Structure 1
């Protein structure tokens, strides 16, 4: 059932669908006159159509919400600056054109862009920026990045953010990871934490034109400050499995897809219009509900069990069976080997072992009192060393990981019980802490500084007891005052030498405790069809992170691509 229609389709249409699961977003080609037409043929009115795949569509355009639909951040709502994590580059001005800190890092003065309009025609000003940050300040549930600023608009193009303490490290999250909302709309919203913002008004290159539970459509913003995009329309359509994605890609229905597809190179070998790039940046990891003090239950609350899992898994085999050979080495520090070597203090922690060390895993478990049972599963004080590990139905590579790790961990007396659930159930379980083990990925913070990996996943302020929503990201319920103090010290300085000293402290603690157990740096495969649309990011020109699900970058890509001649 169609819920709303804002404007008719125009000359060129980009049809896109987005998977709620991060690994299954795709853009697919179909006719704008007939969304179900898979041919991608010219409709007679010059329309070009492409699509992006989703799983279940649940409307939510709230840029503060962790479950907002993918185009919300970067396509509809914009940040002050954009940080390209695919390349070494200075931040790109978006809704701001300049910024300056005071000497002690407690005030950040931002110059906002002139001539920008909200999609309802109202002017954008510095007052909207001040309102956004003050809304976050007075609504702690919205503060998922640890932002501590209050703001004042000095004039229409100047806003000053004031911090209670030295806060240089908040710069990327403030400038590059916060969507700005219109004061004239959001000042009338009673509860910004739950409102789905069903008629979103943003400054981005596209606006929502149609929405239903089966599909939704974004149409280009004619008054966009950076010029009207060359593509008129983006249609998001459900595709909920790797098989469906593969079939749509080969049939020519997909123009932009970020999905792990088994046998990808062979799959597209005979189609010159389809290519792909691989930009590994996410550490596939076993998330553990680690803190018994905060209500976690199960053997995974024992650090020895987590260490044994780390040593027992065979990452080379996992890459072959589940990663398609595209994965890279992971680090127990959760930083990215190669990119982040300068931040990793102990050379032994640059990368996790490729193969299993069964002897070490057994030794750790023996020392912790876990005795091998007659059924091949260890026990301690009557508790079997058995844990459930969840992943999302349709995430084929993660499902393969679970199947393979079940066999690998059995060799050291650990019983792994895989379960597949819908994305919403998986996300809710992880957020509420009602899981034992969960497969997920870590990476791509506001910048490549380790602070943005560590603050969300390891600081106590970003977690809560089981049964409460840990929306700030510390799903493991990890709490360690040594880590907290080190991160707070790093945040209080712009001196990278001091920061590195503090990250060394963090790394020593988390490598021992392993609340997040790294598997490998997962492939980030993005597939393109160039027969209808060109200008996609490439390895030679990584002008944006190419993944369709990447917040902020998707808006950059949709501005750059053009209809094929």
Structure 2
């Protein structure tokens, strides 16, 4: 019997078995996809045939052969035939998709239901097709042409066309939405035909692909729906019609469910349903992972990872250098407005100690001005190294800034006799809080400062402009190219002042120069100049590049480690499209 006939025969027999006997029966916890013989998490036709024949030989011919159970064969068949199966439950810390895709986050990679034209491959450091099947940039980087992917449709069945791309651009900029800064260099968009969108830029921009793909990227929206929405900021979407691999199914407070888009133009997901479930904190997520309520927890601390070691059906894996941590200054807020104070603080950050205490060795110190060496490579200026750890130098600079212990109580005072008291605003992760706490202890013990740590995760972006210092955790994609140095330009953050309130006319000119220069070597040299200015002005103190630790259940889904999510976040369109069920238990879940 040839391979095709054997496959047809085995699949037919399996169908009969399922129809006659159902698929009830014992479920077996396992860390591999049933019938996957080579460990690639994919079941080939040959592997499925062999598994079914082994089952038949054991069950009907009384052969003493190792075989899968009927329920496991069902999982294998779904994988082989690429038919979505099962529910995956993902924890989130706030209500997802609040309002609509153009409000708040808006990043297509984490919406799962929407797509941009292109996306970034975090592992290969390149760009992949998304709604664009391919694209090209003109030699002068002024014209970008995108050719739409074949067969792309909106979730309501309407074909996606280049007119949707043009409409998205015109709508976002016309309504002055926060994403308009991502498109600020676009003069206009033309559609020579239904499958081609041409972006004409007002000036050369070699990294326009970054603006479209990530941080945060631009989701393409359906013209036939959004042209009827006059006020996007107040619009509460109840349908979420996108073009992505998952489409909206249901939501209630604390719970958001999507289902596989079987008409997707790309690779159809292996999982039938994705459920986002809201948890108050990371501790409750870990408990839910251990109980089997959820399937994965991202961005856990090393101490939590150690606590999960040896847990049944749970694995933790580390992805190196995914996030850069820094201590930022608001250069217009006292005392960070004093250059000598900023340099003193820069000399008082013990990076190695932080890597050890906060990250338990899952981090490497970053003694550059901003870029991460592991991802930016030769874009890092080897001569601009920032400030080394030197408490003696820090004390000298604080004295130059006018801070001395006048009354001998161990606390520095300013010229008016007021204690030197500062507040560090910590971001929305426990790592940032712990980092700020380590800084507080050393500065109080060694420098004589009064330090407060303020945790305001929900108000961080608002209050960052009101505090002299703050912690920042950025994905490595914001530290991997000389163009990322533009974050320190005036008005660089979506048309508003950057987080640091830093403004330097000379630096702003270099921002324009680097963005208008398509040649890589020329951009690198401009980037070197920018880093030299940052070394002198010190608007921020890079501390370390840290690993991301992710824990997942091995008895539910496989493939968590096979793809690189955009920000190494488990809420990611590529990751959730790739994972594959390994157990029939994932079919019936709350």
**TM-score, with structure 1 as normaliser:** 0.81
The equivalent of 2:289 in structure 1 is 249
1:358 aligns with 2:388: no
The equivalent of 1:442 in structure 2 is 474
Q: Secondary structure at the match of 1:231?
A: coil
Q: Secondary structure at the match of 1:398?
A: helix
The Cα of 1:342 is off from its aligned counterpart by 0.8
Q: Distance in 1 between matches of 2:224 and 2:574?
A: 26
Question: Quick check: 1:288–1:438 contact (8 Å CA) kept in 2?
Answer: yes
CA gap 1:315/1:103 in 2 versus in 1, 3 angstroms:
closer
Q: Distance in 2 between matches of 1:472 and 1:252?
A: 44
Q: 1:388 aligns with which of 399, 423, 427?
A: 423
1:561 aligns with 2:579: yes
Q: Distance in 2 between matches of 1:348 and 1:340?
A: 14
Question: Quick check: 2:153–2:264 contact (8 Å CA) kept in 1?
Answer: yes
The Cα of 1:502 is off from its aligned counterpart by 0.8
The Cα of 1:72 is off from its aligned counterpart by 6.6
Q: 1:286 aligns with which of 327, 351, 363?
A: 327
Q: Distance in 1 between matches of 2:286 and 2:578?
A: 25
Question: Quick check: 1:208–1:218 contact (8 Å CA) kept in 2?
Answer: yes
CA-to-aligned-CA distance 1:11-39 (integer Å, 9 cap, x gap): 9xxxxxxxxxxxxxxxxxxxxxxxxxxxx
Gaps of 5+ in 1: 1-10, 12-41, 292-296, 464-469
Map 1:525-564 onto structure 2 (within 5 A). 525-537=549-561, 541-545=562-566, 547-548=568-569, 554-564=572-582
Q: Distance in 2 between matches of 1:392 and 1:253?
A: 28
Q: 1:76 aligns with which of 97, 100, 113?
A: 113
Question: Quick check: 2:324–2:479 contact (8 Å CA) kept in 1?
Answer: no
- The root-mean-square deviation of aligned C-alpha atoms, in Å, is 2.7
Q: Secondary structure at the match of 1:210?
A: strand
CA gap 1:230/1:449 in 2 versus in 1, 3 angstroms:
same
Question: Quick check: 2:343–2:387 contact (8 Å CA) kept in 1?
Answer: no
The equivalent of 1:236 in structure 2 is 276
The Cα of 1:223 is off from its aligned counterpart by 1.6
Question: Quick check: 1:322–1:401 contact (8 Å CA) kept in 2?
Answer: yes
CA gap 1:172/1:55 in 2 versus in 1, 3 angstroms:
closer
CA-to-aligned-CA distance 1:186-211 (integer Å, 9 cap, x gap): 22222334545343111111122222
The Cα of 1:380 is off from its aligned counterpart by 2.6
How many aligned residue pairs are there?
Answer: 495
1:487 aligns with 2:487: no
The equivalent of 1:27 in structure 2 is none
Q: Distance in 1 between matches of 2:213 and 2:373?
A: 26
CA-to-aligned-CA distance 1:87-117 (integer Å, 9 cap, x gap): 24x4211111222233332221211112111
Greater mean deviation of Cα atoms: 369-378 or 206-215? 369-378
The equivalent of 1:323 in structure 2 is 359
The Cα of 1:358 is off from its aligned counterpart by 0.4
The equivalent of 1:418 in structure 2 is 453
CA gap 1:106/1:194 in 2 versus in 1, 3 angstroms:
farther
Q: 1:379 aligns with which of 406, 413, 418?
A: 413
**TM-score, with structure 2 as normaliser:** 0.77
Report the structure number with the largest CA radius of gyration. 2
1:497 aligns with 2:521: yes
The Cα of 1:405 is off from its aligned counterpart by 1.0
Q: Distance in 2 between matches of 1:479 and 1:306?
A: 15
1:50 aligns with 2:57: no
Q: Distance in 2 between matches of 1:53 and 1:116?
A: 29
The equivalent of 1:519 in structure 2 is 543
CA-to-aligned-CA distance 1:509-556 (integer Å, 9 cap, x gap): 11222222222112211222221100112xxx5544573356xxx111
CA gap 1:341/1:108 in 2 versus in 1, 3 angstroms:
closer
The equivalent of 2:239 in structure 1 is 199
Q: Secondary structure at the match of 2:374?
A: coil
Question: Quick check: 2:440–2:451 contact (8 Å CA) kept in 1?
Answer: yes
Q: Distance in 1 between matches of 2:324 and 2:513?
A: 26
CA-to-aligned-CA distance 1:47-99 (integer Å, 9 cap, x gap): 7443222223265253343445x7774511111112112224x4211111222
Q: Secondary structure at the match of 1:286?
A: strand
Map 1:84-103 onto structure 2 (within 5 A). 84-88=121-125, 90-103=126-139
Q: Distance in 1 between matches of 2:183 and 2:537?
A: 23
1:334 aligns with 2:334: no
Q: Distance in 2 between matches of 1:416 and 1:133?
A: 46
Question: Quick check: 1:377–1:384 contact (8 Å CA) kept in 2?
Answer: yes
Question: Quick check: 2:97–2:111 contact (8 Å CA) kept in 1?
Answer: no
The equivalent of 1:506 in structure 2 is 530
Q: Secondary structure at the match of 2:364?
A: coil
